[in-house]
Amino acid sequence: MSDDDLKQPVIRKSPSRGGNSPDVWGIYEPDTGSIQYVCADPGSREAALIDVVWDFDPGSYAFSTESCDQVLKVVADNGLSVRWILDTHPHADHVMASALLRQRTGAPNAIGAKVRQIAGIWAGIYNAPTLFDPDRDFDRLLEDGETLLLGALALRVMLSPGHTLGSVSFVCGDAAFTHDTLMQPDSGTSRTDFPGGNAAELWESIQNILTLPDDTRLFVGHDYGTSDRHRPEWEASVADHRANNIHVREGTDRADWIRRRKERDATLPLPDRMLAALQINLRGGRLPDAEADGHRYLKLPVDRF
């Protein structure tokens, strides 16, 4: 395989195992290494769309809908109906398609309830105290332990802070969508250095995720490949992570992991979409209102990072 395998969109289905087990489609978005998910009840064909991307070019500040269209094509091609539009957290590296999907499908959108606190942090960074109102821009703000129905399946909300203070995982039968906590076993874990992030909290979140049954399919939020693997991957079992995750396999020392995580985070660059994306994502994927000239504008902090 060549490096080009990480530069092309990829769609892959993880089929239901029967019983309390959803069909899951992963749709890889190569520009940001994000994985978008369709989680569906095989019986009713009701589906949740999770962490879908609204394409954004940080060079031109132009938007397009290729990724969103691709996800909705999976829905149409498989005879699904969209019940929920979900995001695990306000993403720093891509713009969420939540508002756009709500407009196109009529389904409600939801995110973790602690997005209110995240919005407060970033309202200060942008010096825009009235810009964000999560209660306005999301139909549901989800608490830890809350359950959403997806046909005959239950989708449970698990608070998983660390990457952000309000990140949530979604557990649906034998599938768990764990966002920016774990990477694939050969890549380790996710960063914690954004405002509100916390390495110790991420450690605890990961340990909670790894208490799920061994055969639970864990679906991660990003993949960038490795020096030895040039094909995007996003699914591994709890047992795989316990045995093989290069950062948190069984026997890993908590204090050592926290130290190494902080040291690595200190070397990582800011995502090139971050300061634009968070200003939009904390509005549920809505752009600011148009000004008198008919155009929309973003406000970007200077010398804050």
Contact 49, 82 (CB under 8 A): yes
Tell me the C-alpha distance between 21 and 157, whole Å: 16
User: What's the rounded Cα separation, in Å, for the pair 86 and 83?
Assistant: 10
C-alpha 159/C-alpha 89 separation (Å) is 10
pLDDT of residue 4: 62
User: Which pLDDT score is estimated for 5?
Assistant: 78
Round to whole Å and give the CA distance between 236 and 139.
31
DSSP letters spanning the chain? --GGGGSS-EEEEE---SSS--EEEEEEETTTTEEEEEEE-TTT-EEEEES-EEEEETTTTEEE-HHHHHHHHHHHHTT-EEEEEE-SS--SSSEE-HHHHHHHH---EEEETTHHHHHHHHHHHTT-TTS--HHHH-SEEEPTT-EEEETTEEEEEEE--SSSTT-EEEEETTEEEEETSB--TTT-B----STT--HHHHHHHHHHHTTS-TTPEEEESB----SS--S---EEEHHHHHHH-TTT-TT--HHHHHHHHHHHHTTPPPPTTHHHHHHHHTTTTPPPPP-TTS-------SS--
Q: Tell me the C-alpha distance between 262 and 266, whole Å.
A: 6
Find, among 141, 133, 185, the residue nearest to 159 by Cα: 141
Which pair of tokens denotes residue 220? 């991660």
Top-level class of domain 3-281: alpha beta
- pLDDT tens by residue, 167-200: 999 999 999 999 999 999 999 999 999 999 999 9
Low-confidence ranges of the chain (pLDDT < 70): 1-4
* Per-residue confidence (pLDDT) for residue 2, from 0 to 100: 47
pLDDT digits (tens, 9 = 90+) for 217-255: 999 999 999 999 999 999 999 999 999 999 999 999 999
Q: Over the stretch 50-63, which tens digit does the pLDDT of each residue have?
A: 999 999 999 999 99
Cα–Cα distance measured from residue 146 to residue 32, given in angstroms and rounded to the nearest whole number? 30
- Give phi and psi for 5, each to the nearest 5: -65, -25
Integer angstrom CA distances of residue 216 from 14, 21, 41, 172: 12, 10, 16, 10
